[in-house]
A and B are shown apart, each in its own frame.
Chain A
């Protein structure tokens, strides 16, 4: 598992943790049943508050990415294929919202943005 915490990011730290773990579950780097480090261990390793990792795990649990087993810890939950795709779509959507907001701030029009996206998409084909 790979997690990088940025102190200069505008996102709260718990969100950075959830996003990265989620990403690795969706990409398949973390697989069903894989154990996650304990809340306290992760906090120590990342040098962040126990409350932060606790909140991150709670979010993952709420969204169905992680199962908490009493006395044993947290594990990557069984992922429904369709649900997974939906989650991935949602992730793409979130990134696009970000791009749209940035574009708005800069006064980029929809047509210009569409053009940029088309170019980028083709470039990576």
Chain B
């Protein structure tokens, strides 16, 4: 499998927050979801990929090329969609597009017009008249029209209503019908990722928790539930976080099969959703 992105030992230090030892690959031809609570470091990773901020250490390769040394080549192949797309407010969409087009060798004007129609975007409207969802679509149309091989989106679904979100996710699936194309998008809306992602990279407090195929994660992780005083988090193999109530304890495990084999009838076993995983991990072990 070839990788569209390879990230090794990435580090960025801010006051009060450090992104540390971030290492993962994004395989070409798939959708990778970057997931984590707010403030986990998702946007920092994307900004480092785009070289919008300076990294303190580590290496980023996009299509095998160093993203700093080959910045122009790399960026020509990336379609970047900001969480809040920004263009001049009083300029018509068609004018924005014709200003953007010359920056890309592979700009396809016919494709752009087709996408505008498909997304029901009026070319003669000014940018400020668009809704948030329309701005997102316009931004995506620009990215697709220059035939980007890597679509990079930061929280594209945040603030969109369910209909728009669904449409956008469907669009992402359509992009990878072409197996040369890759999508990386960040989201804290786990159901979006559960629906479309092929791979998931989970980040918490500036560190990668795991980066794996979504199916594998959903098949191996689970939640072990037991009455009060029956189990401690340390009793459960692969324990990654817990929640206590007066009535019992729920423990997240990265190895549900082993937990079930070892603990047997002492507990009840459920599959974990991405939401469960995010919740328990960001909460940590035990201090409830």
Contacts and interface: CB of A to CB of B under 8 A. Distances in A.
Interface of A: 10, 12-14, 40-41, 43-44, 47, 49-52, 55
B215 A49 contact: yes
Contacts of B116: none
B68 to A, nearest CB: 31
B198 A50 contact: yes
B42 interface: no
A40 B199 CA distance: 15
Closest 4 CB pairs of A and B: A49-B198, A44-B173, A51-B198, A40-B177
B111 interface: no
Contact of A40 (B179, B195, B219): B179
A72 B89 CA distance: 48
B268 to A, nearest CB: 14
B197 interface: yes
Contacts of B197: 49
Given A50-B29, A51-B198, A44 B174 contact: yes
Contacts of B213: 49, 51
Chain A at the B interface: mostly helix, strand, loop or mixed?
helix
Interface string B140-178: 000000000000000000000000000000100110110
Contacts of A43: 173
B267 interface: no
Nearest to A38: B177
B127 interface: no
Contacts of B271: 10
Contacts of B115: none
B101 interface: no
A40 B30 CA distance: 10
B55 to A, nearest CB: 30
B179 A49 contact: no
Nearest to A12: B219
B195 A55 contact: no
Interface in B247-288: 271
Contact of B195 (A47, A50, A51): A47
Contacts of B31: 49
